[in-house]
């Protein structure tokens, strides 16, 4: 199991590094071609799209994941995959029609301005096409085709970046060019994904199979929306309480914070399909445990790097109007990292206790909304970031506690807590030196030394045994 995870993680990880790397490369262009208000509008519409991708299809992709891996014949697998695809096509088509007809009131609600109705109509097409790409691409994950998944991701990412930049800079289309670029990329990448998955996605629709998938996935929809709300309710509250320009600054901090997932998101993507396909193995829980430690090592190392270098990273990646965003990047990065641990608590999904998963996330979303509302009023954007971090920590911790009752995994909590303490201490030490009046190069050298030493300590704590295990795997394959 660990060997398969390592293999898939390399593919997913390389893909994630490239796709998110392109997003990082594009950030300086976006923050120079767009105003804070325009960048904030893109962020809000992206969040709305994420919510609609869950709400419209009732998390049918998760239903496919659950039923497809358990299907005994290729005919059943084709019925599940094809039915889910055409279900998505029908619902996204309906969404575009409704979005176009009622663009004025929806734009007033979502963007605080009915004058943005034209932009919202364009965004509706982008949201729908991106949603269909998500469905087709995820089918490749459930078929355990990481190389095909990677190819589709790369095509989408490169096309979206190139076309968007050409339209925004070359044709002066501004924010509309961003969404047109996504539309072109989604059409091409979806076509490619369907070609890869053609053995299972075809002209077939079966209501009985749809009911089986929705019986599992529909209860997950409120939970997934609530999970998104934990991480994104801060944007809507900032929009309402502080305005779209403040949201643009906060969104830039979020993009910088998401850098911490750059090297570990591939590992995360590989975990879910691997667990679904192997969870019945008697030794599966013991094999999952070292994967979390390896993941924690990567995530904590990157968080430390961001804690020490947030300001120079912001200076490098953003335009002049956005460089004040760096103080908010670290708490947002920590929140994203905590939320990304969810696949390592699979007990409620594996035992069909999805109603408990929904309750945990709904409670977490409510807590996030309350904390952000009160903290934004008192501390501004810092309050929003801290409220999101606290709510994420409480929600994911609760999920792990309850998940362990249904599918116990022998995680080494003492080791993980020790690693967190080490990362926190070294992060504080590094930040202390920033308060001293030091030459820029001296400060850079100190930051680098602190980071390197802390990474060595974390490696000793978390991945010493894993390294030996990988060596045995490689030796076994060579033999």
Planar angle of CA 354, 49, 247, nearest 5 degrees: 110
Residue finishing a domain among 179, 201, 217: 217
Report pLDDT for 163.
Answer: 96
- HEC readout, 200-240: CCCCCCCHHHHHHHHHHHCCHHHHHHHHHHHHHHHHHHHHH
Same domain? For 207 and 67 the reply is yes
Report pLDDT for 154.
Answer: 92
| Exposed / middle / buried, residue 323 (Cβ in 10 Å: 0-12, 13-18, 19+) | middle
Residue 273 has pLDDT above 80, yes or no: no
Domain annotation covers residue 50: no
Average pLDDT over residues 179-201: 94
Helix, strand and coil in the chain, % to nearest 5: 85, 0, 15
Same domain? For 229 and 212 the reply is no
Q: By the 8 A CB rule, do 51 and 225 touch?
A: yes
Same domain? For 201 and 338 the reply is no
Domain annotation covers residue 31: no
Report pLDDT for 466.
Answer: 56
Report pLDDT for 106.
Answer: 92
Same domain? For 272 and 322 the reply is yes
The CA radius of gyration of the chain, in Å to the nearest whole number, is: 22
Residue finishing a domain among 217, 245, 274: 217
Domain annotation covers residue 121: yes
Nearest one of 223, 149, 231, 235 to 192, comparing CA atoms? 149
172 φψ region: left (φ > 0), alpha (ψ -120 to 50), beta (else): left
Domain annotation covers residue 451: yes
Domain annotation covers residue 190: yes
Same domain? For 235 and 371 the reply is yes
Domain annotation covers residue 22: no
Average pLDDT over residues 414-443: 82
Which range marks the domain in which residue 238 is found? 218-479
Residue 474 has pLDDT above 60, yes or no: no
How far, rounded to the nearest angstrom, does the alpha carbon of residue 90 sit from its chain's CA centroid? 26
The better pLDDT of the pair 216, 108 is held by 108
Residue 4 has pLDDT above 80, yes or no: no
How far is it, in rounded angstroms, from Cα 382 to Cα 402?
Answer: 31
Give the pLDDT band (50/70/90) at residue 255. Answer: confident
Domain annotation covers residue 268: yes
Residue 478 has pLDDT above 60, yes or no: no
Residue 126 has pLDDT above 90, yes or no: yes
How far is it, in rounded angstroms, from Cα 451 to Cα 304?
Answer: 7
Same domain? For 255 and 188 the reply is no
Give the pLDDT band (50/70/90) at residue 249. Answer: very high
Domain annotation covers residue 2: no
How far is it, in rounded angstroms, from Cα 267 to Cα 269?
Answer: 5
Residue 473 has pLDDT above 50, yes or no: no
Residue 464 has pLDDT above 50, yes or no: yes
Q: What is the 8-class DSSP label of residue 345?
A: -
Residue finishing a domain among 195, 217, 239: 217
Give the pLDDT band (50/70/90) at residue 70. Answer: confident
Same domain? For 212 and 233 the reply is no
CA atoms within 13 A on the CB side of 241: 19
Report pLDDT for 12.
Answer: 66
DSSP secondary structure, 286-316, as one string: HHHHHHHHHHHHHHHHHHHHHHHHHHHHHHH
Nearest one of 222, 230, 62, 27 to 139, comparing CA atoms? 62
Report pLDDT for 380.
Answer: 94
pLDDT tens by residue, 310-341: 888 888 888 788 888 989 999 999 999 998 89
How far is it, in rounded angstroms, from Cα 365 to Cα 388?
Answer: 9
Same domain? For 159 and 232 the reply is no
In total, how many domains does the chain have? 2
pLDDT tens by residue, 31-52: 889 888 898 899 899 888 988 8
How far is it, in rounded angstroms, from Cα 154 to Cα 189?
Answer: 9
How far is it, in rounded angstroms, from Cα 260 to Cα 185?
Answer: 25
Alpha-carbon torsion 215, 217, 221, 227, what sign? Answer: positive
Same domain? For 66 and 156 the reply is yes
Tokens encoding 257: 């914070």
Same domain? For 292 and 409 the reply is yes
How far is it, in rounded angstroms, from Cα 22 to Cα 158?
Answer: 7
Highest mean pLDDT range out of 107-111, 211-215, 348-352, 384-388? 384-388
Average pLDDT over residues 287-296: 87
Give the pLDDT band (50/70/90) at residue 279. Answer: confident
Residue 263 has pLDDT above 70, yes or no: no
Average pLDDT over residues 434-454: 81
Residue 472 has pLDDT above 50, yes or no: no
Same domain? For 170 and 288 the reply is no
Highest mean pLDDT range out of 24-33, 186-195, 241-250, 451-460? 186-195
Tokens encoding 142: 């459930």
Same domain? For 321 and 343 the reply is yes
**Lowest-pLDDT range, 55-59, 201-205, 220-224, 310-314?**
220-224
């Amino acid at each position: 199991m660990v060997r398969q995870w390592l293999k898939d993680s390399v593919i997913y990880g390389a893909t994630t590094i490239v796709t998110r790397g392109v997003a990082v490369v594009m950030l300086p262009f976006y923050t120079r071609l767009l105003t804070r208000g325009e960048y904030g509008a893109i962020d809000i519409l992206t969040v709305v799209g994420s919510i609609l991708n869950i709400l419209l299809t009732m998390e049918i992709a998760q239903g496919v994941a659950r039923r497809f891996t358990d299907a005994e014949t290729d005919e059943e697998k084709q019925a599940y995959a094809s039915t889910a695809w055409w279900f998505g096509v029908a619902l996204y088509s309906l969404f575009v029609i409704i979005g176009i007809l009622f663009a004025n009131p929806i734009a007033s609600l979502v963007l605080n301005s009915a004058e943005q109705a034209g932009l919202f109509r364009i965004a509706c097409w982008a949201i729908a096409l991106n949603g269909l790409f998500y469905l087709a691409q995820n089918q490749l994950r459930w078929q355990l085709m990481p190389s095909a998944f990677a190819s589709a991701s790369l095509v989408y990412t490169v096309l979206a970046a190139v076309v968007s930049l050409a339209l925004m800079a070359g044709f002066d289309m501004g924010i509309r060019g961003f969404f047109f670029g996504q539309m072109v990329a989604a059409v091409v990448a979806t076509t490619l994904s369907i070609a890869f998955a053609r053995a299972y996605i075809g002209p077939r629709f079966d209501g009985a199979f749809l009911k089986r998938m929705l019986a599992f996935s529909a209860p997950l929809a409120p939970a997934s929306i609530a999970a998104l709300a934990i991480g994104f309710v801060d944007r809507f509250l900032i929009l309402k309480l502080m305005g779209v320009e403040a949201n643009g600054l906060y969104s830039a901090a979020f993009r910088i914070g998401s850098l911490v997932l750059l090297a570990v998101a591939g590992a995360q993507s590989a975990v879910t399909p691997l667990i679904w396909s192997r969870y019945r193995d008697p030794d599966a829980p013991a094999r999952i445990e070292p994967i979390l430690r390896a993941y924690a090592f990567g995530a904590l190392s990157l968080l430390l790097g961001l804690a020490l270098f947030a300001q120079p990273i912001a200076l490098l990646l953003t335009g002049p109007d956005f460089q004040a965003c760096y103080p908010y990047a670290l708490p947002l990065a920590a929140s994203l990292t905590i939320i990304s641990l969810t696949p390592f608590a699979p007990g409620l999904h594996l035992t069909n206790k999805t109603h408990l998963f929904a309750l945990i996330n709904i409670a977490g979303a409510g807590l996030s909304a309350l904390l952000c509302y009160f903290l934004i009023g008192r501390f501004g954007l810092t309050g929003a970031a801290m409220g999101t971090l606290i709510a994420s920590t409480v929600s994911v911790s609760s999920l792990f506690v309850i998940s362990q009752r249904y599918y116990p995994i022998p995680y080494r909590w003492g080791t993980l807590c020790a690693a967190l303490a080490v990362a926190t201490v070294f992060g504080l030490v590094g930040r202390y030196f920033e308060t001293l009046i030091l030459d820029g190069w001296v400060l850079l050298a100190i930051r680098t030394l602190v980071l390197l030493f802390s990474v060595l300590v974390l490696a000793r704590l978390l991945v010493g045994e894993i390294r030996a295990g990988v060596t045995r795997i490689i030796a076994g394959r060579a033999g």
